[in-house]
Structure 1
Amino acid sequence: MNIDPLPRAGVLGTAAACLLLATSCAGQTPDPGSADGEDALTVETVHGEVGLPEVPTDVVALGWSDAETCLALGVEPVGVADWLEYGGNGVGPWVEGDPVQLGTMEPNVEATASLEPDVILDTRSDLTQERYDMLSPVAPVVGPPPGVETTYGTTWQEQTRQVAAALDRQERGEELVTELEGRFADLREEHPGFTDSTIAVGAYNYDGGFGAYVPGDTRADLLTDLGFEYDDELADMADGAFYTDLSAENVQALDADLTVVFPLEAGAAGELESDPVLQDLDSARDGRLIVLDDQDLIDAFSSGSVPGVHHALDGIVPRLVEALDQ
């Protein structure tokens, strides 16, 4: 699982240099438009307006959770990026599909081109022009919507609507958004204590250190959608990013009415139960620390897709209620 997955300039440059060969090998040349010069669909993105000459049928989903969003809309992508390292078919167990796996931080341009996609979805991405320029010669690239400024900061609502617009499934997209927003509203009503409480979300890094996710990240946003208040101190420390590393002396910033922490490395949850710095938090001492140890729940919590969020709510809400009742 990647904390801050940003492509390296050298990799991008090499990929771009190989692009002509890749598209030639695939026999794929971007369609300049329909016969009458009008596109069947247009989508507004951070990189400008993207025109699609026809409703896509062969879709490559490279953005974080774009594949799960496609599947929720009833379209199976031909290729996906497995950001959360699910393995297998590259998507969470809460959706079904059997696409080809492609690169994440370093998209495999040749493999992508060989699938001859009608569109490349990259709606939750690093926002860089380099990544867009690398992919756009293969097929139209639908990136994040205008206004997204945080890397990987596209909300689940924005992602659902953006993918739905690219697939011409706007009605179904709005149904998915309405259903999940309704569930959040019901949960806030059922648990008024959520709106009276502060919360923080931490991660245990591969090197044994800690970090924090802040609003603008899908994990923090899920909890604020439930009504929790997030500490501005952590957001300030992130300085516009969705995540910030925490030094040992700053782990105290994770203290809140509820603290949710999970390991980025599978099987490492046990280390959190005995970590002296984490266990020294007031929330830990008072039984208000939640350590996520189920990998499916961790992945769903991190997915930021409509089906993933539904799965995460199934598992995390009972834990939140139990901790608040301490």
Structure 2
Amino acid sequence: MTIPTAFGDVTVPERPQRVVALGWGDAEVALTLGVQPVGASDWLPVGGDGVPAWMPADKRYATPPTMLGTMEVDMEAVAALEPDLILDARASGERDRHDLLAGLGVPVLSIPAGGHAYRTNWDQQLDMIGKALGKTAEAEQVHADVEAKFRDAAAAHPDFAGKTVVVGSKMVGSYGAYVSGGSRIELMKRLGFVQSPQVQALAGESFSVPISPERMDLFNADLVLMSPIGVSADDIANDPLFRSVPAVQAGHAVVLSDAEIARAFSSGTPLGLSHAVDKVVPLVAQALAR
């Protein structure tokens, strides 16, 4: 099987036996398709073997993988695993990273041709990894299941259609908002929401934009959905700057206080998105009803 990537076509073995999964969510996608990587990165992070809570019991590791680091990969540890395929489908797409991995003499499934750093979407990732692992039929079924989940949720909540949304986050000392092209905004669009035009107008090469304290007005929309990153949910909910936003004052805001739900929402993986729909949609419906 030959698969196009940002660094040219890569030829993968027909049935790879020792897979290393390094890109964001690559290990989870492999597990979803019934393949257990021998080495993996923990991007969310969830600790241990890096498998999130929403992974079904029958899809989990029988033997824990070697954890290899995320932004800084332990190349010696990767080589020691003697992989026959390296998955790096949702990653930075940097030439130096790719060349280091390819230097091991192993096929590297990098980001898609024409792709951007960390913007490989869930269906591209599922399709590429499905082909690379010889699991195309399984990938197509997972794809159909996730699409049905989106359709059913949108049909059950026609009131979501056309409402504007700002999806943001707070880190230590700063706020940010996500723009189109990332999984968070795409999930909300699939539910019927419209990305805030004011936020989208600031979009650059990244999947998010910084929001300064002087521009908290940019968070105002029909719905505000926030995730804490390295801070507590209370740090957002109790922040006078955040509370000053009209939509927040009206109660049309959701702060994801449950770490598992926040991880699922940010995962951008098929099973993570499915779990996020199950858990986030009721919170959104409740906020809009206020």
Residue aligned with 2:2, SS: strand
* 2:285 matches 1:318: no
Superposed CA deviations along residues 239-281 of structure 1, whole A, max 9, x for unmatched, are: 1210111111122212110000111026x11111210111111
> Conserved in 2, the CA contact under 8 Å of 1:50 and 1:141?
yes
Aligned runs of 1:1-326 on 2, under 5 Å? 41-95=1-55, 96-97=60-61, 98-138=64-104, 139-149=106-116, 151-205=117-171, 207-265=172-230, 268-326=232-290
RMSD: 1.2
Q: Mind listing any 5+ residue stretches in structure 2 that lack a counterpart?
A: none
Supply the AA of the counterpart residue of 1:219: R
Separation (CA, whole Å) in 2 of partners of 1:311 and 1:100: 26
Supply the AA of the counterpart residue of 2:83: P
Supply the AA of the counterpart residue of 2:35: V
Separation (CA, whole Å) in 1 of partners of 2:67 and 2:53: 15
> Where does residue 7 of structure 1 map in the other structure?
none
Question: In percent, how many aligned pairs have the same letter?
Answer: 39
Alpha-carbon deviation of 1:94?
1.7
Separation (CA, whole Å) in 1 of partners of 2:99 and 2:249: 50
Residue aligned with 1:238, SS: coil
Separation (CA, whole Å) in 2 of partners of 1:245 and 1:104: 23
Superposed CA deviations along residues 119-175 of structure 1, whole A, max 9, x for unmatched, are: 1101111111111111112211101222323x2111111110011011011111111
Supply the AA of the counterpart residue of 1:130: D
Residue aligned with 2:40, SS: strand
> Conserved in 1, the CA contact under 8 Å of 2:14 and 2:133?
no
Larger radius of gyration: 1
Aligned residues: 283
Superposed CA deviations along residues 262-304 of structure 1, whole A, max 9, x for unmatched, are: 11026x1111121011111111010001010000001111111
Separation (CA, whole Å) in 2 of partners of 1:160 and 1:225: 18
Separation (CA, whole Å) in 2 of partners of 1:255 and 1:127: 34
Q: Mind listing any 5+ residue stretches in structure 1 that lack a counterpart?
A: 1-40
What is the TM-score when the length of structure 1 is the normalising length?
A: 0.84
What is the TM-score when the length of structure 2 is the normalising length?
A: 0.94
Alpha-carbon deviation of 1:188?
1.2
